[in-house]
Chain A
Amino acid sequence: MRGSIALLLLVTLTLGCEQNVDPIAGSDFPYTIWGFMNAGADTQVVRVFPIRDELIPERGSEIDARVFSTDLNTGERREWVYERVQFDSLIEGHLFKAPFRAEHLHRYRLEVVRSDGEMSSSEVEVPSEVEFNIDIDEQSVVIPVEIRGDIPNLIGLRVTYHAVNIPPASAWPPGTPVPGAVQLPVIISYDHLVRQIDGGWRLEINMTRDFEAVRSAYQNNCLVTDIDGSAPFIVLRRMDFSALLADGSWDPPGGIFDPNVLSVPGTFSNVENGYGFFGAGQGILHDWSPNLQVAELAGYRAEQRCLGFAQDIPECYDPPMPCLQDNIDDIWEEWLE
């Protein structure tokens, strides 16, 4: 009888035992690498994520990594300098920088090495030099852009309109606490508007067509753009054009940079023994301030108040970003009162 009771107790205790679960299978890869060799920059930067077993590491955690690059054409080997950036309370960046300009048609090998010798690496070739022309005519809303040379990949063609919303005081109920000006940069992609020509690529920036997108963006963000059919209260301050003349490795599945697809580890990766992507290319960035006449021609409003970037008018030199719900709530409260 005692034996039976002991057995019963044993079985009961055994049954009640907790079984541990280890949901982290672990990865054979040490690092994830993001960046590219930029022939258009004086300093090269790469971001390295160690593959950890916790989603958000402790703030200020160190990375056990050293980064080296080797110019496979010259044999020159450099060690990159570590720098940590805290983006917010959750995300920190482990950056490695090297002060040199990547040479066209040179092949580079990047190695991220752990203290135990584990390594992730990538090899890339910087594409050849190109000729970039942007023809800004002070009388035309159409701006031709030509890029000539042997370009394996032309991606990330973007025009950014840095505009400011400056509605008149009459747009709001009296006393409404809304900022005098609100900035909202609008990026227009030209990836699908570029066409191949003999010896290169060509596209035309159409400010009038893009203005409709800018106005829609402002309206979608609940900014006041049209009152009584008058011209929209959007003042164009600056524009820039950027593109990446990329090497052949920038080849996402289906030719589309879909974050839902590319975020799947290994889907768009040229990193050996690791995840991520390390490419090569030449970044192009050209910015300018269109003159008043062209901006007006495209549909923007000429607003003298801020065009001089008057330092004594805060919203002109540093306008806030839209705080839409606050504005809407304030407006409704005003009306309700």
Chain B
Amino acid sequence: MPLVCSTVGKGKTLLGWSIAFCLWAVMGVSVSWAQNATIRGFVIAEEDGESLQGVNVVLDDLRGNLEGGATDGDGFYLIPGITPGQYVLRATFIGFATYVDTLTLEPGARLLRNIEMSSGSVEMDEIAVEAERESGAARVTAGLQSVQAQDIELVPAPDVSGDLVSYLSTMPSVVLMGDRGGQVFIRGGEPTQNMTMIDGMDVFQPFHVLGFYSAFPSEIVSRADIYAGGFGNKYIGRISSVIDVYTRNGNKRALSASASMSPFTSAAHLEGPLLRDRISILGSARVSTLDQFASQYIDAPLPFKFNDFFGKIHARVGRSTQVSVSALSTYDRGTLISEDDFFQRSDAIAWRNTAIGGRYLVAPAALSVLGEVLVSYSRLDSEFGPPGDPTRTAVLETVNTAVNMTNYVGNSEVNWGFFLKAPTTEAELDGLFQNVQTKRFLTSHTGAYLEPEIYLRNGLYIRPGFSVQAFGTADISFEPRLRVRWEGGIHHLSGAAGIYRQHILGVSDRRDATNIFTAWLETPVHEGMRAVHVLLGYRVEPAPWMEVSLEGFFKDMDNLFIGEWTAFPSFTTRLQQAFGQSAGFDLRLELRRPAFYGFINYGYSNTLYEVIPISEASIDPGKFRPPHDRHHQLNALLATNLYGFDVSVRWQFGSGLPYTRVEGFDGFILMDGVVNVDEVRGFPRVIYESIPYQAVLPAYHRLDISVERSFSSPGGLEVTTQVGLLNVYDRTNLFSLDLLTAQRSDQLPVIPVAGVKIGF
């Protein structure tokens, strides 16, 4: 980033700061701890060589003093500043036998100790210095919820394999438009204000047109960190939320594969060692089969086609270095317009994500540092219009180079890094947004951050940070942020606050829910979109099997851009500047009993927008609810095992979304001179209520059930079968309402599903 921007004045400033900081961070920190010992390494599962996150690695000095921590997503741990002497190294993790080793650490020793953990039972005891679970439905820390593959599998879905978006739909802070559309709104933010990444690569529109699926099938997901807000300085360039997906590395010891089939998709995955214990490959492919199977028995149009492919090669180069290359491709095509459309529109939406990237991870022996270098290319192609002859197209692509470093100092760590991106946008909008520039736009986007996490004793961690970013010719922006957590026995408090900026704007015509075409543009205002987040949460574990959390949030958003309401039914509009505020809270309860697992959560959110009218003549509607403002959301999930069958039941409820009612229809003639009204055709006109989104659509609710059972065949095959029922009580949930024709499109009716998955 700063290295490349050095020809620009402000780039030089950024470069200088970055170099100075790098020197301070790398040299200063390491020198001060020169006489103490350090131990570090990676923890993997013996069975398949997969990295294990959340493993407690502690040093016991046999006098009752413990030092250590939990491994990160790469299974990495580092314990710095150890007084020389004799220690017992212990690594514990649920489902694995405890690893124990005895060590003698000399002054200044820098010991590398990679750990392999074998499967087995273990009783967690007092040696745990941090929580043993990384994820959980109520485990929310300052907006962050981690989701693992096993969490995803609990949610009923039309497939044997789960998908990350199914889990997202159970979160109280996430609003989906329904079972189609591929739009995810998080705590008042728009989909284009969410940052979604997989293995460090940007994915701009990752959710498939059919709402049960995304680019993240559970087979490839190791974990996903979902920040509903208040995210740290590492994430620069979006103002609402972050979905950071980490994929598995693939089995390094044995070949493993599976194939599945359901009425909606066919999928396959393959993983195994290319070089045992060194290099592994992981691949996943999924294609929709709606037209072949589901549409044969579902009494609803399913004009959707989608697929996704993912591949990854991961290599352990030496004992402290890892390299991986990942690639992702997704494709969606479909129409959200009902079959009996009054205007007989045949417009279809299509988009394609392409991403490829590499990651280099190193834990150098001489320094208490973990370093990561990311290089990636991401592209999104979108089009809208009659198939084969789209009237609107948009392209967003970016090349990203990023460096992320973590310095370990005692119980604290210093995270810092920088990035350079070269985003390009291009759009052909057919007049949709009449007042924006849509030419090809290539610019530079650079940034750097510093974010230490400091342990202040008594369970208090603070993570203050700041980041700077420079986008094209825009001014450099400084974004201070703070994350705080306190752990006191069963009680946990957490909070976050910060300033966020975004210079790439995704615009879509929110007047029409069936038109999800999104164009990406540079924000019309120089300073970009801005948001301020404030979060405060409390979590308690009154019993080992129960967890309750409450988190409140407030977001202040500025320089948003939304389509202007016009009276022409011509689907063109202009962008108008807006600002908004969103506030609410999430309340969650999670139960983990031997007999069952369940959670129930409730989310309240209130989002209000205001617009700055384009001209003095435009009507100022004052504060109004945007169309994604769902006030109440309730989710409940129950999973249990009955007679060897895994049964999962999920109920979700969402209060009605706002929409604008129509007073009536007439015609418009521009009277700007000698107009012969008997010769001028005029235009049909919609007379909307003057204040938009005053009416509320009916509430959404649905019950889904799935029953699953796995069998092992003598040949070593694992067969999993699933039957289920989606929308059990056949609720007629409304998807969209065409205000021009009063035609409604409904979401999917009751659907029986059955699937099978065969793997080894």
Chain A interface (Cβ within 8 Å of chain B)? 12-13, 15-19, 21, 23-27, 31-32, 34-36, 38, 45-47, 49-56, 83, 85, 87-88, 90-91, 93, 95, 97, 155-158, 242-244, 250, 252-254, 257-268, 275-277, 279, 283-285
Residues of B within 8 A of A279 (CB): 671
Residues of A within 8 A of B675 (CB): 34, 36, 156
Residues of B within 8 A of A263 (CB): 566-568, 668, 670, 683, 685
Residues of A within 8 A of B685 (CB): 32, 263, 265
Contacting residue for A32 out of B615, B666, B701, B742, CB 8 A: B666
Q: With A91-B682, A275-B666 in contact, is A283–B687 under 8 Å at CB? A: no
Contacting residue for B737 out of A23, A85, A258, A261, CB 8 A: A23
Q: A87-B681, A265-B567 are in contact. List 10 more A-B contacts (CB 8 A).
A: A21-B737, A24-B661, A32-B666, A91-B682, A155-B673, A257-B671, A260-B564, A262-B668, A262-B671, A264-B566
Cα of A250 to Cα of B671 in the assembled complex, Å: 9
Can you list 19 pairs linking A and B with CB atoms under 8 Å apart? A19-B732, A21-B698, A23-B739, A24-B663, A32-B685, A34-B667, A34-B671, A34-B675, A52-B666, A254-B615, A254-B616, A258-B617, A260-B564, A262-B668, A262-B670, A263-B566, A264-B618, A277-B671, A279-B671
Cα of A93 to Cα of B681 in the assembled complex, Å: 8
Residues of A within 8 A of B574 (CB): 260
Cα of A264 to Cα of B734 in the assembled complex, Å: 28
B341 CB–A CB distance under 8 Å: no
Residues of A within 8 A of B678 (CB): 45, 47, 83, 85, 93, 95, 97
B526 CB–A CB distance under 8 Å: no
B729 CB–A CB distance under 8 Å: yes
Cα of A16 to Cα of B742 in the assembled complex, Å: 22
Shortest CB–CB separation between residue A33 and chain B, in angstroms? 10
Nearest B residue to A25, CB-CB: B661
Cα of A156 to Cα of B734 in the assembled complex, Å: 47
Chain B interface residue bracket vs A? 35 or more
Residues of A within 8 A of B664 (CB): 24, 26-27, 51-53
Cα of A331 to Cα of B228 in the assembled complex, Å: 57
B686 CB–A CB distance under 8 Å: yes
Nearest A residue to B696, CB-CB: A21
Q: State whether A24 touches B666 (Cβ < 8 A).
A: no
Q: State whether A88 touches B681 (Cβ < 8 A).
A: yes
Q: State whether A34 touches B677 (Cβ < 8 A).
A: yes
Nearest B residue to A261, CB-CB: B617
Residues of B within 8 A of A91 (CB): 667, 681-682, 684
Residues of B within 8 A of A267 (CB): 617, 619
Q: State whether B671 touches A56 (Cβ < 8 A).
A: no
Shortest CB–CB separation between residue A80 and chain B, in angstroms? 12
Q: State whether A21 touches B682 (Cβ < 8 A).
A: no
Cα of A284 to Cα of B674 in the assembled complex, Å: 8
Contacting residue for A16 out of B568, B617, B732, CB 8 A: B732
Most buried by A among B568, B574, B674, B742: B674
Residues of A within 8 A of B342 (CB): 55-56
Residues of A within 8 A of B107 (CB): none
Q: State whether A56 touches B684 (Cβ < 8 A).
A: yes
B689 CB–A CB distance under 8 Å: yes
Q: With A21-B744, A275-B687 in contact, is A264–B682 under 8 Å at CB? A: no
Q: State whether A253 touches B674 (Cβ < 8 A).
A: no
Closest 6 CB pairs of A and B: A156-B673, A253-B617, A257-B672, A19-B698, A18-B732, A283-B674
Cα of A27 to Cα of B665 in the assembled complex, Å: 9
Q: State whether A95 touches B663 (Cβ < 8 A).
A: no
Nearest B residue to A34, CB-CB: B669
Shortest CB–CB separation between residue B42 and chain A, in angstroms? 50
Q: State whether B618 touches A261 (Cβ < 8 A).
A: yes
Shortest CB–CB separation between residue B718 and chain A, in angstroms? 35
Residues of A within 8 A of B731 (CB): 15-16
Residues of B within 8 A of A156 (CB): 672-675
Shortest CB–CB separation between residue B565 and chain A, in angstroms? 8
Q: With A53-B664, A156-B672, A257-B672 in contact, is A47–B617 under 8 Å at CB? A: no
Chain B, residues 617-661, CB within 8 Å of chain A (1/0): the string is 111000000000000000000000000000000000000000101
List residues 549-595 of chain B with CB under 8 A from any CB of chain A: 564, 566-569, 574
Residues of B within 8 A of A83 (CB): 678
Nearest B residue to A274, CB-CB: B666
Q: State whether A158 touches B682 (Cβ < 8 A).
A: no
Cα of A53 to Cα of B728 in the assembled complex, Å: 35
Contacting residue for B682 out of A34, A51, A254, CB 8 A: A34
Shortest CB–CB separation between residue B692 and chain A, in angstroms? 12
B7 CB–A CB distance under 8 Å: no
Chain B, residues 400-433, CB within 8 Å of chain A (1/0): the string is 0000000000000000000000000000000000
Residues of B within 8 A of A38 (CB): 674
Most buried by B among A24, A34, A90: A34
Residues of A within 8 A of B701 (CB): 15
Chain B, residues 716-742, CB within 8 Å of chain A (1/0): the string is 000000000000111110100101111
Nearest B residue to A267, CB-CB: B617
Residues of A within 8 A of B618 (CB): 261, 264
Q: State whether A27 touches B698 (Cβ < 8 A).
A: no
Cα of A328 to Cα of B723 in the assembled complex, Å: 58
Residues of A within 8 A of B697 (CB): 21
B65 CB–A CB distance under 8 Å: no
Residues of A within 8 A of B729 (CB): 12-13, 15-16
Shortest CB–CB separation between residue A63 and chain B, in angstroms? 12
Cα of A88 to Cα of B741 in the assembled complex, Å: 19
Nearest A residue to B744, CB-CB: A21
Residues of A within 8 A of B689 (CB): 25
Residues of A within 8 A of B434 (CB): 260
Q: State whether A158 touches B677 (Cβ < 8 A).
A: no
Q: State whether A158 touches B737 (Cβ < 8 A).
A: no
Shortest CB–CB separation between residue A76 and chain B, in angstroms? 23
Shortest CB–CB separation between residue A149 and chain B, in angstroms? 17
Shortest CB–CB separation between residue A118 and chain B, in angstroms? 13
Cα of A273 to Cα of B567 in the assembled complex, Å: 19
Cα of A87 to Cα of B699 in the assembled complex, Å: 42
B662 CB–A CB distance under 8 Å: yes
Q: State whether A264 touches B619 (Cβ < 8 A).
A: yes
Q: State whether A23 touches B662 (Cβ < 8 A).
A: yes
Residues of B within 8 A of A95 (CB): 677-678
Q: State whether B665 touches A53 (Cβ < 8 A).
A: yes
Cα of A97 to Cα of B677 in the assembled complex, Å: 11
Nearest B residue to A53, CB-CB: B664
Cα of A337 to Cα of B568 in the assembled complex, Å: 44
Nearest A residue to B616, CB-CB: A254
Q: State whether B661 touches A23 (Cβ < 8 A).
A: yes
Residues of A within 8 A of B668 (CB): 259, 262-263
B32 CB–A CB distance under 8 Å: no
Q: With A23-B742, A55-B569, A55-B741 in contact, is A32–B674 under 8 Å at CB? A: no
Q: State whether B567 touches A16 (Cβ < 8 A).
A: no
Q: State whether A36 touches B671 (Cβ < 8 A).
A: yes
B458 CB–A CB distance under 8 Å: no
Q: State whether B677 touches A47 (Cβ < 8 A).
A: yes
Shortest CB–CB separation between residue B635 and chain A, in angstroms? 16
Residues of B within 8 A of A266 (CB): 690
B292 CB–A CB distance under 8 Å: no
Q: State whether B659 touches A23 (Cβ < 8 A).
A: yes
Residues of B within 8 A of A85 (CB): 678
Q: State whether B615 touches A261 (Cβ < 8 A).
A: yes
Nearest A residue to B742, CB-CB: A23
Shortest CB–CB separation between residue B620 and chain A, in angstroms? 12
Cα of A22 to Cα of B659 in the assembled complex, Å: 11
Residues of B within 8 A of A45 (CB): 676-678
Shortest CB–CB separation between residue B507 and chain A, in angstroms? 17
Cα of A12 to Cα of B615 in the assembled complex, Å: 51
Q: With A90-B684, A264-B619 in contact, is A51–B742 under 8 Å at CB? A: no
Cα of A54 to Cα of B687 in the assembled complex, Å: 11
Q: With A91-B667, A264-B566, A279-B671 in contact, is A21–B734 under 8 Å at CB? A: yes
Q: With A16-B730, A55-B684, A277-B671 in contact, is A46–B677 under 8 Å at CB? A: yes
